[in-house]
Structure 1
Amino acid sequence: MIEENATVVSTTAGRVLIESFRSSACGQCQARHSCGQKAISEWASSKMTQLEIDNPHGLDVGIGDKVVVGIDEGSFLKASALMYLLPLVVMLLLGGLANRWIGTEVSTIIFSFVGLVVGFIGARLLGRQLEKSCQYKPVLLRILLNDTRVVES
């Protein structure tokens, strides 16, 4: 389970609106002092993100509570593969077919671009289907009390 700490902003029946800082892996990286990506990740991670999540265990949370939310690692990897690999595979497939059948550089470039766009559209449509599945949504896992005690579901 991939977990992240957050703060409760509001609650409704079975749903919780949380607010969290975007985090990056740069804080733990050994090369963080000499890497150009650190400045970009610090800028991006300084942004607050609000997200409405499920409360499947019916935990009693209030506004301002510190909570832990999580999403299944396998689901996260599948969604990431869909988002990144599908457009790339379709782009390479159409570009390769155009190169083999038509043989001109311009046709290969055009078909590769069309494949990339088709791949992004396909990823978007498949992503909407996966959105309906509970395993692809973050959920409220537990409440943090005074940063030392933890209330489990």
Structure 2
Amino acid sequence: MIEESATVVSVCEGAVIIESSRTSACAQCQAKESCGQKALSEWASSKLMHLEVDNPSKIVVRQGDKVVVGIDEGSFVVASALIYLLPIFTMMLGGAIVFLFDGPEWVSILVSFIGLLIGFVMVKLTSRRLERRCQYKPVLLRTS
């Protein structure tokens, strides 16, 4: 289970709205002082996000409580693979098909771009289906 700390913003029936800051791995990186990525990650991590999480254990929480939420590691890996690998795969498949038929380079680039867009659409459609499944939703684990 991947866990993250958050603050309760509001409580609904069966769900809790939490507020969590985006975190970055840059704080632990040894090259953080000489990396240009650090400024971008600091800007992004300063943004707070609100998220609705399920409360299957019916843990009693109030606004302002510190809680720990989690998501199944396997589900996280599957979702990450879907988001990152599917568009790249469809892009490469489009380019490979044109290459096999000895098409010109500009056609290969165009078809690769279309394949990338198709991959994004497939991710959007698949993610809508997956978000209804409980294992792909973060859950309230405990108060901290």
Shorter chain as denominator, the TM-score bin is over 0.9
TM-score (norm 2): 0.97
Q: Please name the residue that 1:125 is paired with.
A: 125
Equivalent positions of 1:14-25 (< 5 A) are 14-25=14-25
Matched letter for residue 47 of structure 1: K
Aligned to 1:73: 73
| Secondary structure, aligned partner of 2:19 | strand
- Structure 1 segment 91-130 matched on structure 2, within 5 A: 91-130=91-130
Task: In structure 1, give the amino acid aligned to 2:58.
Answer: G
Match of 2:90 in 1: 90
What SS does structure 1 have at the residue aligned with 2:32? coil
**What is the aligned length?**
144
- Give the SS at the match of 1:132: coil
Would you identify which runs of 4 or more consecutive aligned residues in structure 1 move more than 3 Å?
A: none
In the alignment, structure 1 segments of 5+ residues that lack a partner are: 145-153
TM-score (norm. length: structure 1): 0.91
Task: Supply the AA of the counterpart residue of 2:18.
Answer: I
| Cα distance in 2, alignment partners of residues 78 and 67 from structure 1 | 25
- One-letter amino acid of the counterpart of residue 53, structure 1: V
What is the rounded CA distance, in whole Å, between the counterparts of 1:139 and 1:29 in structure 2? Answer: 29
Give 1:36 deviation, angstroms: 1.0
Gaps of 5+ in 2: none
CA distance in 2, matches of 1:14, 1:81: 29
Per-residue deviation, residues 45-96 of structure 1 (Å, max 9, x unmatched): 0011000110010000001000001111111111011001000001101111
Match of 2:10 in 1: 10
State the Cα RMSD in Å.
0.8
CA drift of 1:116 comes to: 0.3
Could you say what secondary structure the match of 1:33 adopts? helix
| Alpha-carbon distance, 1:102 to partner | 4.3
C-alpha contact 1:99 1:107 (8 A) present in aligned 2: no
CA distance in 2, matches of 1:134, 1:74: 13
Q: Give 2:57's aligned residue.
A: 57
